[in-house]
């Protein structure tokens, strides 16, 4: 392991920031006489059609110097595509252009994609043939050997980059491949790095040397430094500049904080898997230990970039990136941390230690924030020197202090800096406090509340809570953002740096260092416990957060709440309170009692300022009178309140937005008015096993989400009495409702329906198909998906056919064109064998994912080809599935694990090229192939058989399917595999077998294919032994629909899975 420090490069930060303000997506560098009117023109047109902003120089080049406009265009392009052709090197203009591009690659993170058009990469790399001849002429023409040598080095360096080689390929396909790669890069979203990323270029260059992206090993790199030094900023910049070079990438932010939450490490594992594999629905790991195995299994063959940001414990690394072999070759893992010992213990390959900014960079960064220029105004030079001296080169301190002093007079600067001089030891937290001191009282309260209670919380939620406190948060939060004290991330969550949070909490601690009960806010678990149990609370306390290291009992003093008359915020995350409060402050805006055996709300409590009311394990039976005055309440939740029987009339809570009940086992009734509430946006019931009475009707014009899960007594669903266009999401899970009303058609804005485990619900109402905005439909365990009334007719003719039925274009269909916006359809565990689903459902091209796992489907009919937009088809564990007659034209991903009863069958007429032993025959009723040994089957993990079979002949009604057998013979041992299907076209039968029943030393292996009924003939057969070192076996793309490969993986060693999936062609010669 190497420990490397930062270099002191002085390159300008402006080049780095410009990478996010590109004028062009692509700059085309080419030799005009070679390619201007053919390949380059076609490539430009293809890029333009994709909406990719491309710069092309149409002017004929004259003279020896590149124009300033062309140099500017190169600098302002995100990607440079260099088209090397026979005469490229003969142009000094092209060579100078190339040198400029490589400079931008190094200083501006410009992406370079070399294209080798009718020329071999080695000719460019080593200056052979036409390139060699061109350089001989340059050598004679120029006396400047350095210039020529520089061109040669540039050519060699660029030619070594990954790119595209035409070779003998089709030019149109070649252009499409280039455009696809460019589109992937252009469409990638960058992480926000910094407003003024001063001094980070040198860090990026140094870390890139440690990463050595071109090497095909696996590396872990640590970025080490104190808080506020810029580790995360550098990691984001690195991510932006290199992520495109990997199959997948993930930036896991704030690991220290996120892992400390309940289930935090498991959630981080799921986030990692989700971002790398791109599937959020099927990646729940269940436990941290299982998550380790899933990561190792799913990512061990993927080349990924993983950033683990702000790691502070070894266990985090052990569970997220435990070892190098968890990831595929070429992977890079970057870890940011304050703890060098953690990196050493984890045996990372290199550690990059970040130091403070040098004087020049500190001056530049501070000046940009204070003056919006790189140097200070003349009158402020000395004062600026004082400021950066106190900041000590820490980027966060320079940023906050510069922003705080911006726009102030010289007198104000002197006053503020004099104050800094009185802070001992140049403590960074106290430096940051100078920004806090400039806030007004409301802004200070907002800042301290965020530091103590609301970091990472949704900004809109916090605004609502603090607005009830009359802190004017809309203006105040914006002021804090302007002061660089907080920020709002891409998920609309409030964020502040650790140093700023520590600074805010230290301010509160200093209110009464010795007596916690006299502080305004309490969050540290020891202080909270002592104050509540020893009854040392005072009227000064405004907020309490209980967050114990582990769930534990807190014995409340008898008068613990009585003295807290100014209490605004009470949050109990994980403590068991010994009793309910006998008094509650009427200043409360947020009351989360947590696990508290509350019998009833105190009679003195009217809760007119209450915004959020949460209770867990309370003994309350009825809320009734207790909540009648909660006029401003917006969020109400009840967890494990086993005695709660009813949800009362909430007409006197007009502003309620979210009502959430979980595991309220005695809840029987929800008042009818709940179904008429005008402001409710979310209504959720989980595990309310006794719930029988739901509102008889729904007239909720603001409702956006309705969830009913594990409510085992609820048998009816209310009628919908008005148009509810705001409702976007409905979920019913394990609820015995018998039917959905036909009035579901009033839900005109519905986008997502998830229904599963509702065993009494036999079918969906027909008019669900008329929902114009429905994007995701998940229905499971249905015996009849949609009951089709005969009076329904389709106005749009279409043609669909299977081997068993045909529907003419002149016949009327039973259904109108359904669900025009549908993108995802899940029919798992449904009865489909007797359904005319594929023929009757004329889905539009919007459907992208279709899941039919564990269904009873027998044949995937040819009519599925009408699903032209389908990209993903899932058929896991379809044990009755026998045939796949055809696949949609644009399918990219699918799974057929335990799906096919006799291997896998697909349309085709040739043995895949990867088979080591192939044999062609001419319409024979049998076919055999043999491999002579010794074979050493202990080194073989599987045998793949293949036969090309013609259409079944002489078919008449009642004709039984042919019995086609494959007999594997070795040293007298025989095994039989069979396939019984009728086919109307040429098809390929692939079968997988394990050699476990044979002797370890075989002298020969023979396979005989035959058909007793003589109603099929063979066109060829193949045999392939899979060595244990082989990672996978792929079917050649020519034998499957476009863009589809078949892979037989380790997991199918016992024929328990076959995957169909689109794969990245890492091994192709086309990509260098």
| Higher pLDDT pick, 807 / 676 | 676
Q: What is the mean pLDDT of residues 329-355?
A: 92
Say whether pLDDT at 997 is over 70: no
pLDDT tens-digit map of 98-109: 999 999 888 777
Mean pLDDT score across all residues of the chain: 82
Say whether pLDDT at 491 is over 80: yes
Instruction: Say which CATH class 441-509 falls into.
Output: mainly alpha
Q: Can 97 be counted among the known catalytic residues?
A: yes
pLDDT at site 10: 34
pLDDT at site 201: 86
Tell me which long-range contacts 789-794 makes (C-beta under 8 A, separation of at least 24): 790/814, 792/766, 792/816, 794/842
pLDDT at site 114: 94
Q: Which helix (H) or strand (E) holds 966?
A: strand 964-970
Does residue 235 contact residue 336 with C-beta atoms inside 8 Å? yes
| Higher pLDDT pick, 472 / 933 | 472
Q: What is the mean pLDDT of residues 339-361?
A: 90
Say whether pLDDT at 11 is over 50: no
Helix 441-449 × helix 498-509 angle, to 10°? 110
Look-up of token digits 């020529």: 148
Say whether pLDDT at 18 is over 90: no
Look-up of token digits 């058929």: 875
pLDDT at site 1061: 32
Does residue 157 contact residue 126 with C-beta atoms inside 8 Å? no
Structure tokens at 501: 């949070």
pLDDT at site 8: 38
pLDDT at site 63: 53
pLDDT at site 428: 63
917-940: burial string, b at 16+ Cβ within 10 Å, e else: bbbebeebeebbbebeeebebeeb
Structure tokens at 447: 């800042």
Q: Grade residue 983 by pLDDT with cuts at 50, 70 and 90.
A: low
| Residue among 105, 109, 78 at smallest CA distance from 241 | 109
Range from 9-18, 105-114, 221-230, 813-822 carrying the lowest mean pLDDT: 9-18
Q: Grade residue 803 by pLDDT with cuts at 50, 70 and 90.
A: very low
Q: Grade residue 5 by pLDDT with cuts at 50, 70 and 90.
A: low
Share above pLDDT 70 across residues of the chain, in percent, rounded to a whole number: 82
pLDDT at site 148: 86
Say whether pLDDT at 515 is over 90: yes
Question: Which of 3.40.50.2300, 3.40.640.10, 3.40.50.1820, 3.40.50.10140 is the CATH number of 14-187?
Answer: 3.40.50.10140
How many CB atoms are closer than 10 A to CB 697? Answer: 16
Q: Grade residue 1035 by pLDDT with cuts at 50, 70 and 90.
A: very low
Within 13 Å of residue 792, how many CA atoms lie on the same side as its CB?
Answer: 17
| Residue among 259, 277, 260 at smallest CA distance from 268 | 259
Question: Which of 1.10.3470, 2.50.20, 2.60.120, 3.40.1350 is the CATH number of 918-1061?
Answer: 2.60.120
pLDDT at site 1034: 40
pLDDT at site 984: 65
Instruction: Say which CATH class 641-748 falls into.
Output: alpha beta
Equal CATH topology for 441-509 and 918-1061:
no
Say whether pLDDT at 809 is over 50: no
Fold of the domain spanning 200-353: Rossmann fold (3.40.50)
Query: How far does Cα 538 stand from its chain's mean position?
Result: 47
pLDDT at site 332: 97
| Higher pLDDT pick, 302 / 956 | 302
Say whether pLDDT at 60 is over 90: no
| Higher pLDDT pick, 426 / 748 | 748
pLDDT tens-digit map of 228-253: 889 999 999 999 888 888 888 999 99
Say whether pLDDT at 717 is over 90: no
Phi, psi of 1039 (to 5 degrees): -95, 0
Q: What is the mean pLDDT of residues 45-55?
A: 93
pLDDT at site 847: 86
What is the domain partition of the chain in residue ranges?
A: 14-187, 200-353, 359-437, 441-509, 641-748, 762-901, 918-1061
Say whether pLDDT at 15 is over 50: no
Does residue 667 contact residue 643 with C-beta atoms inside 8 Å? no
pLDDT at site 300: 93
pLDDT tens-digit map of 638-665: 999 999 999 988 888 999 999 999 999 9
pLDDT tens-digit map of 272-309: 998 888 765 667 888 999 999 999 999 999 999 999 99
Range from 90-104, 366-380, 385-399, 605-619 carrying the lowest mean pLDDT: 385-399
Q: What is the mean pLDDT of residues 814-818?
A: 54
Dihedral angle of Cα 739, 742, 746, 752, to the nearest 10 degrees: 40
Range from 124-133, 196-205, 416-425, 663-672 carrying the lowest mean pLDDT: 416-425
| Residue among 39, 144, 55, 54 at smallest CA distance from 95 | 144
Structure tokens at 896: 């057929």
Structure tokens at 416: 């503020």
Q: Grade residue 1056 by pLDDT with cuts at 50, 70 and 90.
A: very low
Q: What is the mean pLDDT of residues 1033-1043?
A: 38
pLDDT at site 62: 53
Q: What is the mean pLDDT of residues 41-47?
A: 94
Q: Which of 76, 97, 658, 979 is catalytic?
A: 97
Say whether pLDDT at 1001 is over 70: no
- DSSP characters for 884-936? E----TT--EEE-TTT-TTSEEEE-SS--TT-SEEEEEEEESEEEEEEES---
Sign of the Cα torsion 917, 920, 926, 932 reads negative
pLDDT at site 982: 60
pLDDT at site 836: 62
Say whether pLDDT at 539 is over 70: yes
- DSSP characters for 815-845? S----TT--EEE-TT---TT--HHHH----T
CB-based burial of residue 604 (10 Å sphere; 0-12 exposed, 13-18 middle, 19+ buried)? exposed
Which residues, in sequence order, are CB contacts of 216 under 8 Å at separation 6+?
329, 330
CB-based burial of residue 754 (10 Å sphere; 0-12 exposed, 13-18 middle, 19+ buried)? middle
Q: What is the mean pLDDT of residues 381-394?
A: 87
Does residue 154 contact residue 95 with C-beta atoms inside 8 Å? yes
Q: Grade residue 61 by pLDDT with cuts at 50, 70 and 90.
A: low
Q: Provide the H-helix boundaries in 160-287.
A: 171-187, 200-211, 231-242, 255-259, 264-277
pLDDT at site 909: 84
Say whether pLDDT at 334 is over 60: yes
pLDDT tens-digit map of 848-869: 888 888 888 887 777 777 788 8
| Higher pLDDT pick, 60 / 186 | 186
Say whether pLDDT at 12 is over 70: no
pLDDT at site 1050: 32
pLDDT tens-digit map of 868-892: 888 877 777 777 777 666 777 776 5
Say whether pLDDT at 423 is over 60: no
pLDDT tens-digit map of 919-932: 988 888 889 998 88
């Amino acid at each position: 392991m190497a420990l490397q420090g930062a270099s002191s490069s002085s390159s300008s930060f402006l080049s780095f920031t410009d990478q996010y303000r590109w004028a062009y997506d692509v700059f085309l560098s080419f030799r005009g006489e070679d390619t201007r009117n053919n390949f380059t023109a076609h490539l430009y047109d293809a890029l333009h059609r994709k909406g990719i902003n491309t710069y092309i120089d149409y002017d004929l080049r004259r003279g020896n110097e590149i124009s300033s406009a062309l140099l500017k265009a190169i600098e302002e392009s995100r990607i440079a595509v260099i088209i090397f052709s026979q005469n490229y090197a003969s142009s000094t203009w092209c060579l100078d252009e190339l040198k400029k591009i490589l400079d931008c690659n190094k200083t501006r993170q410009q992406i370079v994609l070399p294209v080798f058009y009718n020329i071999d990469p080695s000719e460019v790399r080593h200056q052979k043939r036409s390139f060699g001849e061109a350089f001989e002429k340059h050598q004679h023409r120029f006396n400047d050997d350095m210039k020529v040598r520089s061109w040669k080095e540039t050519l060699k360096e660029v030619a070594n980059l990954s790119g595209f080689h035409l070779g003998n390929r089709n030019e149109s396909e070649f252009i499409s491949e280039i455009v696809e790669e460019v589109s992937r890069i252009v469409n990638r979203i960058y992480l926000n790095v910094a407003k003024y990323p001063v001094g980070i270029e040198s860090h990026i260059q140094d870390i890139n040397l440690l990463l050595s992206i071109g090497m095909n090993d696996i590396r872990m790199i640590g970025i080490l430094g104190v808080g506020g030094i810029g580790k995360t900023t550098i990691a984001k910049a690195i991510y932006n500049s290199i992520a495109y070079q990997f199959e997948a990438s993930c930036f896991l932010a704030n690991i220290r904080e996120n892992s400390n939450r309940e289930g935090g490490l498991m959630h981080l594992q799921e986030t990692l898997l989700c971002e790398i594999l791109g599937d959020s629905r099927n990646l729940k790991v269940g436990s941290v230990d299982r998550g380790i195995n899933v990561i190792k299994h799913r990512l061990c063959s993927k080349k990924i970039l993983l950033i683990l940001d702000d790691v502070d414990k070894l266990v985090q690394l052990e569970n997220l990136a435990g070892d190098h072999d968890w990831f595929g070759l070429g992977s890079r893992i970057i870890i940011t941390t304050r703890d060098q010992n953690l990196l050493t213990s984890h045996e990372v390959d290199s550690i990059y230690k970040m130091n403070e900014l040098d004087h020049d960079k500190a001056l530049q960064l501070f000046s940009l924030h204070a003056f919006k220029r790189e140097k200070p105004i003349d009158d402020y030079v000395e004062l600026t020197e004082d400021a950066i001296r106190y900041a000590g080169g820490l980027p966060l301190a320079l940023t906050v202090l510069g922003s705080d002093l911006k726009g102030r007079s010289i007198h104000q600067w002197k006053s503020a800096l004099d104050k800094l001089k009185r802070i001992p030891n140049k403590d960074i937290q106290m430096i940051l406090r100078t920004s806090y001191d400039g806030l007004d009282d409301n802004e200070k309260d907002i800042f301290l509340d965020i530091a103590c209670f609301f970091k990472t919380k949704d900004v809109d939620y916090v605004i609502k809570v603090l607005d009830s406190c009359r802190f004017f948060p809309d203006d105040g939060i914006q002021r804090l953002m302007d002061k660089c004290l907080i920020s709002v991330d891409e998920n609309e969550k409030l964020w502040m740096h650790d140093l700023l949070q520590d600074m805010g909490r230290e301010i509160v601690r200093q209110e009464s260092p010795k007596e916690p009960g006299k502080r305004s806010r309490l969050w540290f678990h020891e202080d909270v416990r002592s104050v509540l149990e020893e009854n040392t609370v005072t009227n000064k306390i405004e907020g309490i957060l209980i967050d114990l290291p582990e769930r534990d009992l807190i014995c409340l003093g008898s008068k613990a709440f009585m003295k807290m008359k100014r209490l605004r915020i009470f949050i109990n995350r994980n403590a068991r309170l010994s009793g309910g409060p006998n008094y509650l402050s009427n200043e409360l805006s947020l009351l989360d009692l947590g696990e508290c055996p509350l019998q009833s709300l105190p009679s003195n409590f009217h809760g007119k300022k209450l915004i959020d009311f949460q209770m867990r394990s309370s003994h309350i039976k009825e809320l009734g009178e207790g909540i009648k005055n909660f006029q401003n309440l917006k969020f109400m939740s009840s967890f494990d309140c086993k005695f709660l029987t009813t949800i009362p009339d909430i007409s006197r809570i007009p502003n309620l937005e979210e009502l959430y009940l979980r595991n309220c086992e005695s809840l029987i009734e929800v008042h009818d008015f709940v179904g008429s509430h005008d402001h409710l946006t979310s209504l959720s019931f989980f595990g309310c096993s006794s719930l029988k009475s739901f509102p008889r009707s729904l007239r909720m014009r603001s409702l956006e989400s309705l969830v009913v899960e594990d409510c085992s007594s609820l048998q009816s669903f209310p009628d919908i009495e008005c148009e509810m266009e705001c409702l976007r999401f409905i979920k019913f899970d394990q609820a015995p409702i018998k039917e959905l009303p036909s009035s579901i058609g009033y839900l005109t804005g519905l986008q997502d329906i998830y229904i599963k485990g509702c065993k009494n619900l036999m079918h969906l109402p027909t008019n669900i198909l008329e929902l114009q905005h429905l994007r995701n439909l998940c229905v499971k365990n249905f015996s009849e998906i949609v009951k089709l009334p005969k009076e329904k007719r389709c106005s749009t003719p279409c043609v669909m056919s299977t081997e068993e039925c045909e529907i003419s274009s002149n016949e009327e269909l039973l259904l109108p064109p359904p669900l025009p916006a549908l993108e995802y359809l899940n029919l798992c565990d449904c009865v489909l064998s007797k359904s005319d689903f594929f023929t009757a459902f004329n889905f539009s091209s919007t459907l992208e994912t279709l899941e039919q796992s564990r269904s009873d489907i027998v044949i995937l009919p040819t009519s599925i080809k009408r699903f032209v937009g389908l990209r993903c088809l899932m058929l896991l564990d379809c044990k009755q599935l026998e045939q796949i007659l055809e696949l949609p034209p644009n399918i990219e991903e699918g799974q057929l694990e335990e799906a096919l009863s006799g291997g896998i069958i697909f349309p085709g007429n040739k043995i895949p090229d990867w088979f080591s032993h192939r044999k062609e025959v001419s319409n024979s009723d049998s076919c055999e192939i043999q491999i002579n040994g010794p074979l050493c089957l202990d080194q073989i993990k599987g045998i793949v058989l293949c036969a090309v079979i013609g259409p079944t002949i002489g078919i008449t009604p009642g004709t039984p399917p042919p019995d086609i057998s494959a007999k594997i013979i070795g040293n007298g041992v025989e095994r039989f595999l069979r396939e019984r299907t009728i086919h109307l076209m040429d098809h390929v039968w692939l079968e997988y077998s394990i050699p476990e029943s044979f002797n370890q030393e075989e002298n020969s292996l023979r396979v005989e294919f035959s058909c007793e009924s003589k109603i099929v003939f063979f066109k060829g057969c193949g045999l392939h032994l899979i060595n244990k070192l082989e990672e996978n076996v792929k079917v050649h793309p020519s034998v499957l629909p476009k863009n589809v490969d078949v892979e037989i993986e380790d997991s199918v060693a016992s024929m328990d899975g076959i995957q169909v999936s689109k794969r990245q062609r890492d091994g192709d010669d086309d990509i260098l």
